[in-house]
Amino acid sequence: MTMRRDAASTRSETADAVTVIVVGALAAVVVVVAAVLRAFVTFRPDGIAWRLSVDEAPVSATLDSDVAGVEGFITQVAVIASGVNAVSITAIVLSIVLGTLAALLVITAVMLVAFSFLRGRIFVPATARAFDVIGWAIVLGAAGVMFFDALGRNGVLAALGAEDVGADLGAQFWTFAPAWAAGVSIGIVGRAFRRGVRLQRETDLLV
């Protein structure tokens, strides 16, 4: 009876690991497509498209080509700025590239962890390193995207003649705070796995 339960558990773990690998491959494709779409949406023939927060204001609008009308308040507006400086354009490109690379790095590391489960080698240095990579990729990727987005936003504001508008650092911080919290938490998991690796080695020596 115990052997049957163990076999069923092994099959379930294998299926879970394979699912993670398949979903990871699909997620990598989605990440690349999303990056390409963001680039097309941002870089227009007539300038750089950007969303800016604005003071809350009432607005009347139509839905689905005048099918229905609604009234509400706007808090953001999409603008197109021409003549954005080269530094800000480069920063926007780096934001897209860095965000994409960080996401792909996280996905790859997660897939490597799944491969370790498939091989039955969980508490090994490679798994611990994979968790470290995931944590650092999330933390540094989010920080880099925030920094480069801030440079891009400054360039858009300057091109619009609104360079005196201050940076909304509070909103930017709280936007990326969940990513940093997740990265730190995963880093702690990586440390736990390192301890597991040491315990595994000590157990093997005793055996």
Q: For 87-101, how does the pLDDT look when each residue is reduced to its tens digit (9 = 90+)? A: 999 999 999 999 999
The CA-atom distances, in angstroms, between 170 and each of 68, 75, 146, 166 are 36, 16, 12, 11
DSSP 66: T
Domain membership flag for residue 202: yes
Element (H or E) spanning 52, and its range?
A: strand 47-63
Residues 121, 30 contacting (CB under 8 angstroms): no
Torsion of CA 19, 21, 26, 32, to 10 degrees: 150
Domain that holds residue 126: 2-46+84-206
Which of 189, 146, 135, 184 is CA-nearest to residue 168? 146
Pull the structure tokens for residue 29: 């494709």
Domain membership flag for residue 121: yes
Domain membership flag for residue 105: yes
Domain count, the chain: 1
Full pLDDT tens readout for the chain, 207 residues: 444 444 445 667 677 788 888 999 999 999 999 999 999 999 999 999 998 888 888 888 777 666 667 888 888 888 898 989 999 999 999 999 999 999 999 999 999 988 888 877 777 778 888 888 999 999 999 999 999 998 999 899 888 887 666 666 666 777 888 888 888 888 888 887 777 777 766 666 655
Domain membership flag for residue 51: no
Distance CA(21)–CA(181), nearest Å, equals: 25
Domain membership flag for residue 42: yes
Domain membership flag for residue 72: no
User: Which residue is associated with the tokens 């680039």?
Assistant: 39
Q: What is the value of pTM for the model shown?
A: 0.82
Domain membership flag for residue 56: no
Domain membership flag for residue 156: yes
